[in-house]
Amino acid sequence: MARDAVFLRDSKLLETVDKEYKARLAAKGLSNNPFQGLGYAAMIQFPWTITMFISIRDMSLHAELFRDFVTNSSMLWCPSLALPDPYGVLPLVSTLMVLRSLHTSSRSSTSVGSSAMDSARLRYVLSGATLTFLPFLMQLPSGVILFFLVNTVFNRLVAPFIVRLSKSSVS
């Protein structure tokens, strides 16, 4: 209907469609604000990620101060957190966790108006992109992969609480 209003350049129909859209948003407790729902990302994920990248940048700029970190920071089977995983276990586990998260979240949420075929195609495209990224992931430092693992686990644990909180605020 909105497409028809824009195509026909009918301002009255466009106003009617806009009012219906805003009424539907208001009925679900949403506003027309494009930043609504970004609180978790803005308050937790962005600062955490920015801190990680600033730390890595400072470590590369001041390598003489972090020499012990490179040579003496062994963890599990990795000789150093600054070097890639020699066996590729951490990147593989990280990729498998992202794939599992992708498949469980795509099955549980289907958008209105999208068919099961579109959802399956999107799942395959995102799975392929994740698997394509695996060889590059194997070249990253083990500490970065560990960050990805912790972030993925944290997000999967927090996601049900955020969904429950958003459902309770709407009703």
**pLDDT by position in tens, the chain (length 171):** 666 666 666 677 778 877 888 888 778 777 766 666 677 777 877 888 888 778 877 776 777 777 776 667 777 788 777 778 889 898 999 888 888 878 776 665 554 445 666 777 888 888 888 889 888 888 888 888 888 888 888 878 887 887 777 777 655
Q: How far apart are CA 118 and CA 29, in angstroms?
A: 27
Contact 91, 134 (CB under 8 A): yes
Give CA–CA dist 137/132, Å, rounded. Answer: 9
Contact indicator for 123, 103 with CB cutoff of 8 Å: yes
CA distance linking residue 113 with residue 88, whole number of Å: 41
**pTM of the predicted protein model:** 0.54
**CA nearest neighbour of 144 among 42, 56, 44:** 56
